[in-house]
Amino acid sequence: MENLRQSYVFRNLAIAFAAVLGIAVAVYLGGEVLRKLNLLETAASDNVQWTLSQVEVEFLDLDLATKSYMIGDIDDLDVIRREFDIFYSRIGTLSEGDLYLGLRNETTFADALATIRGFLEAAVPIIDSTDSEMEADLPELSRDIDAIRLPVRELSATGLTYFAEQADMRRGETADTLAFLAAVTLAVLSALALVSIVLFRVNRINVQRAATIEMSSRRMATIVQSSLDAIVAVDRAGRIIEFSAAAEEIFGHRKSDVVGRDMGEIIVPDALRGAHEAGMSRYRETGEKRVAGKGRINVEAIRADGTVFPVEISIQSADSSDGEIFVGFLRDISRRVAAERELVEARDKAVAGEKAKSEFLAVMSHEMRTPLNGLLGTLSLLKDTRLTSKQADYVDNLQVSGDLLLSHINDVLDVTKYEAGALTIKPVPTDLSALVQNVVDSQRDLGSEAGNTIQWRWVGEPLHHVMTEPMRLSQVLINLVGNAVKFTQNGTITIELLAENTDTGADLTILVQDTGIGIAPEDIERMFQDFATADTSYGRARSGTGLGLGIARRLVTALGGKIGAESELGEGSTFWVRLPVTLAAPVGKTRETAATADNHHAERRNVLIIEDNEINRIVLKDMLLAEGHRVTEAVDGLEGVDHAQQQPFDLILTDISMPVLDGIAATQVIREKHGPNHTTPIYAVTAHAMPDEINRFLQAGMSGVLAKPINRAELRKILASRQLEPTQQSTQTVIVNEKSVEGLRRDIGIETVSNLYRKFRTDASTILNDMSEHPPQTDPRPKIGHLSHKLAGSASIFGAEEFVQSLRDIEQDATSNEDTTLILKKVEAAKGVWKSTEAVLDRAFKE
Amino acid sequence: MSTTQGTLSGKLALVAWIIFHPLAAGANDLQMPTGDVVLSVTGNIAATNDGNAAIFDEDMLRALGETTFETTTIWTDGVQSFTGVSLKDLLDELGVDNGTLEARALNDYAVEIPVSDAVDGGPIVAYARNNNAMSIRDKGPLWIVYPYDSNDDYASETIYSRSIWQLDRIDVQD
């Protein structure tokens, strides 16, 4: 295409060149012809033939006049004289005239002329003499005249021949000139023809181009005018050169009003005009384009009526005959933005509604668990008293009902907890068969009450150890089996496990089949929604909150699997769970026996209870007393702080919601005051199990949470914790207490702990540096004491035992005004301890 | 170029002659020649002095005005200075403003010259070449000469043929 085009251009150029050359030649030749014609026009000759013949005529006249006088025919000598003069004049003309220059070069002519001139010169004295003298000389003159008859003859004859040749030559020249003229005419015509061809071609091309350009510009105009997006083009200076119909509609300006004006003044709102002008001048100075060619951008524009609205713009630069121009495509997105805003508002409302629901549930569970806590606690105390067997049966029944109620409340709490994002999965090597067996064991009693048999088996090759979260998976299976038991009477519940190997491990399918009443297919989907219950079930005691399957669904999703059910009314149901699992090597028994706190015989502790609810306070006190601990009671936060100021405790248990001073504020006061309990572990005893609340407790300086209703085992675990060991007895300090780490991860979730830890790590570095820096001439010890105390409180939360130990040591030294140099050395040593602590904690919390 | 001056002085002379001459009763009368007659004009003329003819001696011609120009000719060698009465002045004197002149020479050469040739800056009836009176041997005494060099139109065979020398008669025809 390009080659063709080039050769085409070359050919046209060649033709044009030939035409120009032809014209130049024609002009030159035409000039030549004109010159020659001019020469022809200005005749160089007289009628020479006549002149030459006149020589003979006049010679004969002279001869005749002379002879006539001599024979007496005439008697006037003047006649002879006149004829002589005429002849003389004629010969003079031939001798002098330029006309005869060529002729005079002819030898014959020149000789004859010389002879005649010789005669004339010789005759002049005779002619000019008196009549008598002349008459005497006449015979001699007549003889002389006769003597030149031949030369006169020769003169005219030679002249005629010469001029005839000249005439021939002249005719030839004329013919040549005419031929030349014809050739020139032909050349001119050819050149004109070539020029015509070139002009015709050029014209045709121009017409085609003009048509193409007009068509494309018309097409462009149509595109511009019919585009739904506004199209605005500006020149380098930012002046509008195009303003489409859509632009007129969107901006409310008429094209004729805005063309030639600065775009910034027309469509850029005041707030953005500065930036726009800065951008334009930057472009003019440096050529840098920040917006053009950078795709779609959302900005704001202004209409003629002053309303500012959002637009999506895309600007491209283009070269035009007037230099670079910018073409902007602008789309009015105010509706879209409004729709988005509505969506966001709707979502925010929904989220807020969800949050309100969660909060409501949390509050409700708290309100329900507080009296339940009292009820169950009292029951367990009642069981320890002397009862009749009937009374013991009643207490047992109460215990069963209470436990069931508690499990419902726990379900609700689970849901709210998972909604709040606390559901994190930490896969560990798990023996699947053992897990399923445990689930079956736990449900067997419940199942047999309804006459059901529960069994389980592997279908095909069993899997032994896989990576999964055993607690969550157990919970799912308990929910499914519990559900099956609820809707089956005198039937069989079968758990089948099926493993299919995959590239990364295996797909595990667990089927829980029952022979119960079944579910209508249209209800199956609904089963997995929160608070969904089927219309009928066996026995009121088995009715539930309807949260079980919803929780199971959440857990399975968190584990990366799917859950579903197939059922027909009256035909029983099959619930299935599919989980991708990776295989794990079998592990030893060490982990399973990790929690041995139950068996650990606890030291006798001095415990402060801060609780406004009398029943709860009594229950807690009695539990502690039963374990052999000492108890001090406070009815609100203020009283608790007072007690804490007076004597040291090994442990402080505090309620959160209390009149006068709540648990959080009380904890802060105890931590901030340099009383005997500023490092004592403080546990929140609360039904507030929400993760962000736990964060608040920890930030306030609490060491952990003891959930209501109080579980004796948990309480024992806390009392047996090494944190509570008196410092002087702590002979086997570790860098980081793994149990603390484990407990933090389990109780408040790894994400929250990681966040807390990051904050703590930053604080630790800052505080350690502050401790070693102090103004000269001042006593640094109060500051060091305060800072080490503060840091130890935070560090203890993360189980950084060695670090806490070294900080307490420093604090002790500082408060007892030990030597400053020694203290500063210990601070430096603490920095070293922090380094190793930090390394361990980084591994534990930085996920 | 003294053509205009010569013509003007000729006219002034004529006017002065008409006003002060005692015989100037009619405009058609010409002075009588006192020397040899060098030119006789016949035919359709308004002024006469010899019956139906107007005859001139050299002094009379000189009195009509003197025009001089330089030119080359094809019959002579080099640039020549010609002096004479312009043909226009002569014909004005004779009251001729249209028609054709049939000019004849001593050797009976005859040629027709249209009156329209007689213009200012045009041909003269020369009586001197290079300030010398012309003899018959020297194509005199009168020679109608065109200023060939000053006008290319005069370089044509027609004009050459009208350049009659040894002129002695003119017959003015319609």
Of A475, A488, A495, the closest CA to residue A446 belongs to A488
Of A665, A657, A668, A840, the closest CA to residue A740 belongs to A840
Q: Are strands A230-234 and A240-243 parallel, antiparallel or unpaired?
A: antiparallel
Residue of B nearest to A94 (CA): B75
CB contact under 8 A, A97 and B74: yes
Confidence of residue B130 (pLDDT cuts 50, 70, 90): very high
Nearest neighbour of B135 by CB, restricted to A61, A85, A97: A85
Backbone angles phi, psi at A734, to 5 degrees: -110, 165
Q: Are strands A297-302 and A630-634 parallel, antiparallel or unpaired?
A: unpaired
Predicted local confidence at residue B4, as pLDDT: 45
Q: Are strands A453-459 and A240-243 parallel, antiparallel or unpaired?
A: unpaired
The mean per-residue pLDDT over the stretch B150-168 comes to 88
Contact residues on chain B for A82, CB-CB shorter than 8 A: 106, 136
* Pairwise CA distance, residues A536 & A543, whole Å: 9
CB contact under 8 A, A45 and B157: yes
CB contact under 8 A, B160 and A98: no
* Pairwise CA distance, residues A596 & A589, whole Å: 13
Burial B16-32 (b: 16+ CB within 10 A, else e): eeeeeeeeeeeeeebee
A34 to chain B, any CB pair closer than 8 A? The answer is: no
Percent of all residues in chain B with a pLDDT value above 90, rounded to a whole number? 44
CB A603 within 8 A of CB A724: yes
* Pairwise CA distance, residues B152 & A42, whole Å: 7
How many other C-beta atoms are found inside a 10 Å radius of the C-beta of residue A326? 22
Please provide the DSSP assignment of A124-144 as one string: HHHHHS-HHHHHHHHHHHHHH
Predicted local confidence at residue A485, as pLDDT: 85
Contact residues on chain A for B73, CB-CB shorter than 8 A: 97-98
For residues A756, A758, A759, A765, the Cα torsion angle rounded to the nearest 10 degrees is: 140
The amino acid occupying position A260 is G
Predicted local confidence at residue B102, as pLDDT: 93
Nearest neighbour of B76 by CB, restricted to A47, A58, A97: A97
* Pairwise CA distance, residues A165 & A289, whole Å: 89
Q: Supply A787's token pair.
A: 């800072």
CB A676 within 8 A of CB A704: no
Predicted local confidence at residue B103, as pLDDT: 93
Interface probe with B: pick from A86, A95, A96, A116, most Cβ of B within 10 Å = A86
Which has more confidence, B123 or A428? Answer: B123
CB contact under 8 A, B77 and A98: yes
Predicted local confidence at residue B67, as pLDDT: 92
Q: Report residue B107 CA to chain centroid gap.
A: 18
A85 to chain B, any CB pair closer than 8 A? The answer is: yes
Of A602, A614, A843, the closest CA to residue A741 belongs to A843
* Pairwise CA distance, residues A812 & A380, whole Å: 43
Predicted local confidence at residue A118, as pLDDT: 92
* Pairwise CA distance, residues A491 & A484, whole Å: 10
The mean per-residue pLDDT over the stretch B120-133 comes to 92
In A122-276, DSSP assigns E strands to 230-234, 240-243
Label residue B98 exposed, middle or buried (CB < 10 Å: 0-12, 13-18, 19+).
exposed
Q: For residue A558, give every residue at least 6 positions away whose Cβ sits within 8 Å of its Cβ, in sequence order, or none.
A: A418, A423, A424, A425, A472
Predicted local confidence at residue B23, as pLDDT: 46
Q: Supply B128's token pair.
A: 């001197």
Residue of B nearest to A127 (CA): B137
List residues in chain B touching A: CB distance below 8 A.
72-77, 106-107, 109, 135-139, 152, 155-157, 160-161, 165-166
Please provide the DSSP assignment of A770-791 as one string: HHH---TTS--HHHHHHHHHHH
CB A90 within 8 A of CB A55: yes
Q: For residue A357, give every residue at least 6 positions away whose Cβ sits within 8 Å of its Cβ, in sequence order, or none.
A: none
The distance of A199 to chain B (nearest Cα, Å) reads 41
CB contact under 8 A, A45 and B74: yes
Instruction: Count how many residues are written for chain B.
Output: 174
Q: Supply A845's token pair.
A: 């919390």
* Pairwise CA distance, residues A265 & A267, whole Å: 6
* Pairwise CA distance, residues B7 & A228, whole Å: 93
Contact residues on chain A for B139, CB-CB shorter than 8 A: 89, 92-93
* Pairwise CA distance, residues A340 & A164, whole Å: 114
Confidence of residue B30 (pLDDT cuts 50, 70, 90): confident
Predicted local confidence at residue A366, as pLDDT: 64
Q: For residue A418, give every residue at least 6 positions away whose Cβ sits within 8 Å of its Cβ, in sequence order, or none.
A: A551, A554, A555, A558
Extract the residue ranges of chain A whose pLDDT is less than 50: 1, 534-543, 588-601, 725-732
Q: What are the pLDDT digits (tens) for B82-115?
A: 999 999 999 999 999 889 999 999 888 889 999 9
Q: In terms of DSSP H, where are the helices of A548-707?
A: 548-558, 614-626, 637-646, 663-672, 691-699
Interface probe with A: pick from B130, B136, B163, most Cβ of A within 10 Å = B136
Residue of B nearest to A83 (CA): B107
CB contact under 8 A, B107 and A58: yes
The distance of A154 to chain B (nearest Cα, Å) reads 20
CB A797 within 8 A of CB A810: no
Q: With the C-alpha atoms ordered B135, B136, B138, B140, is the resulting torsion angle positive or negative?
A: positive
Q: What are the pLDDT digits (tens) for A369-415?
A: 777 878 888 888 888 788 888 888 888 888 878 887 887 777 777 77
How many other C-beta atoms are found inside a 10 Å radius of the C-beta of residue A764? 24
CB A326 within 8 A of CB A234: yes
Nearest neighbour of B160 by CB, restricted to A43, A57, A82: A43
How far, CA to CA in Å, does A383 sit from each of A130, A370, A652, A715? 204, 20, 27, 19
CB contact under 8 A, A89 and B161: no
* Pairwise CA distance, residues A692 & B152, whole Å: 123
Nearest neighbour of A43 by CB, restricted to B76, B157, B165: B157
Please provide the DSSP assignment of A798-837 as one string: TT-HHHHHHHHHHHHHHHTT--HHHHHHHHHHHHHHHHHH
Instruction: Count how many residues are written for chain A.
Output: 847
Nearest neighbour of B156 by CB, restricted to A43, A82, A85: A43
A44 to chain B, any CB pair closer than 8 A? The answer is: yes
CB contact under 8 A, A98 and B165: no
Predicted local confidence at residue B126, as pLDDT: 94
CB contact under 8 A, A41 and B156: yes
CB contact under 8 A, A96 and B76: yes
Predicted local confidence at residue A396, as pLDDT: 83
CB A453 within 8 A of CB A493: yes
Burial A398-412 (b: 16+ CB within 10 A, else e): bbeebeeebebbbbb
Contact residues on chain B for A54, CB-CB shorter than 8 A: 107, 109
Q: How many CA atoms lie within 13 A of A71 on its CB side?
A: 6
In this prediction the ipTM stands at 0.77
CB contact under 8 A, B160 and A61: no
Predicted local confidence at residue B11, as pLDDT: 60
Q: Are strands B80-86 and B67-71 parallel, antiparallel or unpaired?
A: antiparallel
* Pairwise CA distance, residues A683 & A740, whole Å: 13
